[in-house]
Structure 1
Amino acid sequence: MIRVLIVEDEQYNVQHLIGLLNEIDATVEIVAVIDGVEDCIEWLEQGIEVDLIFMDIRLSDGVCFEIFDAVEVNIPIVFTTAYDQYALQVFKVNSLDYLLKPIKKSALQQSLEKFKKLNTLQVYDKQILNNLTDVIQGRKENYRMRFLLSNNDKYKVIQTQDIAYIYTEFRLSKAVMFDKSVNILPFTMEELESELDPNRFFRASRQFLVSYESIKTIQNNLNSKVSIILLDDVEVDLSRERTRAIKQWLDT
């Protein structure tokens, strides 16, 4: 019997994978299906035994590699992905199997055969996962240093080092500067997150991207929630996963 955990946020992909697994090996038991990063962390922390994980890369609330920052995983993983051949080559080099969507029966069968040949569970080195994250998320060494913004018939330049935090309101991304002025940036939060230095800026929530210099304190609330208080006393609530991540980020 192979006990399987599926981490996938698209119901069609879940049903397709389960159907193929049942066709290939009747001994496969689906222990659980999880669709998000935070739920997966909570599930893994329970210590429920599984033999193999099929894991999508982009989930309903983030990228799957965030899971490994929060909990140690000593279970073989087959990543399911729609990324290009360059990323897939990295998976091969680092001995992590993958399935290209839409999943084909022959490819899945090969993955199961590879799993059955394993004599021991493979412990994934954290540095390998970091390298994979770099490829999938397209991290760059040269991050944006300034923005050229149009202001009526003029232009002005703002430096990223002068930005305290960025928040979204009515689908607009607004940069709050350390001098308390506010500038509208013609980018989505996702675009800004990818272009700004992750050593300086942290995605605290869907609405907030904060610099470490703007954080005044981290506060535990009575309802077991955690929030960060920014320099201008703006309070940003954190999810459990973001709480773990920001503590690691601030401690590096």
Structure 2
Amino acid sequence: MKVIIVEDELAASEQLTYLINNIDPSIEILTVLDSVKSAIDYFSNPTEAVLVFMDIHLADGISFEIFEQVTINIPIIFTTAYDQYAIKAFKVNSIDYLLKPINEEELSSSIKKFKTKANIDTTSYDNIQQLVQLMKSKSQVFRTTFLVHQRDELIPVKVEDIAYFYIESSIIKAVTLKNQTYILDKKLEDIENELDPFKFHRVNRQVIVNKNAINNIKFYFNGKLILNVNPPFKERIVISKAKSSEIKEWINS
């Protein structure tokens, strides 16, 4: 079984390669492509690959641009760090995807799913074309304001003015750039889905951060990171080793 990886981040491609080899050493990775351009050049010619792992966000654009230039008639498993709208579109079009950081168990499940279906349906091209059109024709409308309770009144708080959201004793709180704290009657997961993923990111289970609130990142032990924000958070915002590459990629985007 021969596969191709389309991924612009070296650490991510090496991790995926490691996991694939760990799951099934007989799988051969033909090449790793790191851009839209290199993918277009590669897929313009015949390939022996039977499966592609493709990141959505590449160094020179979005991977969906590839399908506007070439036809890829082999199954594709997309990988994504934070594109909530794309995930919903994948589900609608029955296209397989893996959420970063990639979990070995989920990757193994996707590979098994491919092997099971390989003899029945060797192409997901039509569904991918539908997905490309869907991504072109629709755009996610993100929340711009939260209406919060303050004593005996309701106050509109602009999302762009919120530095971070966090959960404390099952209560969701929002802290503004001016260090004002409000309680929100919502789940952190729901808030995450309503925010623009290019501006806000859930850096760990407890905290969603506005990119504009980040002061710096400090290295921690065992490959972890500490995110320093303004206004300062009352505890250390620790980013796991598995999530560190994803967070750095998001901040650098």
In which range does the TM-score fall when normalised by the shorter chain?
Answer: 0.5 to 0.7
Distance across 1 between alignment mates of 2:115 and 2:227: 47
| 2:161–2:176 CA contact under 8 A, matched in 1 | yes
Partner of 2:108: none
Partner of 2:252: 251
TM-score, normalized by length of structure 2? 0.53
Partner of 1:113: 119
TM-score, normalized by length of structure 1? 0.53
Q: Does 1:91 align with 2:95?
A: yes
1:89/1:177 CA distance change after superposition, 3 Å: closer
Query: How many residues align structurally?
Result: 172
Partner of 1:203: 202
Distance across 1 between alignment mates of 2:216 and 2:114: 48
What secondary structure is seen at the aligned counterpart in 2 of 1:91?
coil
What secondary structure is seen at the aligned counterpart in 1 of 2:179?
coil
Q: Deviations over 1:59-113 (max 9, x none)?
A: xxxxxxx99579xxxx96789xxx9998353539xxxxxxxxxxxxxx9996141
Partner of 2:239: 238
Partner of 2:157: 158
- Look up the equivalent residue of 2:93 and give its one-letter code: Q
Report deviation, 1:248.
1.0
CA-atom RMSD, angstroms?
A: 4.6
Percentage of identical aligned residues: 24
| 2:217–2:225 CA contact under 8 A, matched in 1 | yes
Partner of 1:185: 184
1:242/1:152 CA distance change after superposition, 3 Å: same
Distance across 1 between alignment mates of 2:143 and 2:186: 13
- Look up the equivalent residue of 1:203 and give its one-letter code: R
Runs of at least 5 residues in structure 1 that lack an aligned partner in the other structure: 4-40, 53-65, 93-106
Partner of 1:7: none
Report deviation, 1:244.
0.9
| 2:149–2:183 CA contact under 8 A, matched in 1 | no
**Runs ≥4 in structure 1, deviation > 4 angstroms?**
66-70, 75-79, 83-86, 107-110
